A and B are shown apart, each in its own frame.
Chain A
Amino acid sequence: MVSIEKGLVVVAGERSVLIPPSFITLLQDKVMKEKGEGWRKISYEAGKKALEEIAPTYKMLVMIPRTSETSKKKLIDGVVEIWSWMSCGRPEVTKMNFKKNRFAFRLHDSVLAKPYVGSGKMMCDYFSGVIAGGFGSLLGAELKCKEVKCIAHGDEFCEFEIEGV
């Protein structure tokens, strides 16, 4: 799943970098200082746009045609398995309703939320965008994602609700 050669890292067929999560959280902190709560939209949009472009590669890797509900479920499971190799927390889909395009997604030990534990805030907006863009691209639908639980907020895990726009 992860291939490292001199200067190049490829994960699930996509060129990637391996960076400390603090790169993202330090960046968020700086944006927060200038834009206040506006940092959330910036992080969300960056994650969403990136995954809208990457998800088709993942879909090819999983190689399941998106026809029946069972196929869609396998597709989502396959891509979540890919995500589990991203070293950013343990992902888990807890609810899938394809008719209503409603899903629930959990991330255990989110690396983006860990530095903010005790802040009482939801901090995984980049991942919210990633989930919205990823699920949306996989299912061919415009979706939005909201974080409803976060370890930074004092919850046991981070949880995201996804639904159609």
Chain B
Amino acid sequence: MRVFEVEYIKKRGKNLFIFGKQIVVLDVRGLYHMKKELEKSVEKPDEMLYEAGRLSLMEIHESLVASLGAAAETILADRESALDMLVDALNNLGLGEISVLEFKPEIKFTVKHSAGAQDYVNRKEISEHPVCYALSGMFSGVCEKLLQTPVACKETKCIACGDEVCEFIIQNNARKK
């Protein structure tokens, strides 16, 4: 069930906004090469991408709350519906086709053609481990705000490893990938 209908992406001039916050267009190859350059140069590229994803999506969530104003508390109180709405919004960002597979006992997401991994498939590059670090961080940021408790997101399947879809599980009270 949708909590409310909204056109998520708004255009002002040539700039794009979601919930009043400016967003930029980044080609998925930019994401891929950013990851590759980090892997060559820093100790824990996965953690960096995860944290950047987590914090940037927390900002979007804060913008959502601000845009809802006084109604935010009521609308976000039904967490399952609120998550559906947030996923609806995230599906406008080009991250892949996101679905909530389960809400209880654990939140599970699946993502078809994940933006973080699609370039691996396109390049026929097989990874030994899941690679959607930024997306994992984004899911953790969204769920941490929604559930109002620290969570971690672990990617358990990834198209870069040859799986059909990417799958993510939200775990409570831990901060690990």
CA distance A24 to B30 in the complex (A): 11
- Minimum distance in angstroms from B161 CB to a CB of chain A: 20
A34–B42 contact, CB under 8 A?
A: yes
CA distance A23 to B54 in the complex (A): 9
CA distance A8 to B91 in the complex (A): 8
B56–A18 contact, CB under 8 A?
A: no
CA distance A67 to B31 in the complex (A): 33
A95 at the interface (CB under 8 A from B): no
Task: Contacts A8-B94, A15-B94, A18-B92 given; indicate if A85 touches B34 (C-beta within 8 A).
Answer: no
Pick from A16, A31, A35, A43: contact of B28, CB under 8 Å: A16
Q: Say which size band chain A's interface belongs to.
A: 35 or more
For A23, the chain B residues whose CB sits under 8 A away are 52-53, 56, 134
B24 at the interface (CB under 8 A from A): yes
B48–A86 contact, CB under 8 A?
A: no
Stretch binding the partner chain, chosen from A48-56, A116-124, A148-156:
A48-56
- Minimum distance in angstroms from A137 CB to a CB of chain B: 12
B52–A18 contact, CB under 8 A?
A: no
A88 at the interface (CB under 8 A from B): yes
Chain B, range 124-163, C-beta contacts under 8 Å to A: 134
B93–A22 contact, CB under 8 A?
A: no
CA distance A47 to B111 in the complex (A): 26
For A11, the chain B residues whose CB sits under 8 A away are 25, 27
- Chain A, residues 81-119, CB within 8 Å of chain B (1/0): the string is 000111110100000000000000000000100000000
CA distance A7 to B33 in the complex (A): 21
A42 at the interface (CB under 8 A from B): yes
Instruction: List 9 A-B residue pairs with CB atoms under 8 Å apart, sorted by A's residue number.
Output: A2-B16, A8-B113, A16-B94, A23-B56, A27-B34, A31-B38, A42-B41, A50-B32, A87-B15
Q: Residues of A with Cβ closer than 8 Å to B?
A: 2, 4, 6-11, 14-24, 26-27, 30-31, 34-35, 38, 41-43, 45-47, 49-50, 53-54, 84-88, 90, 111
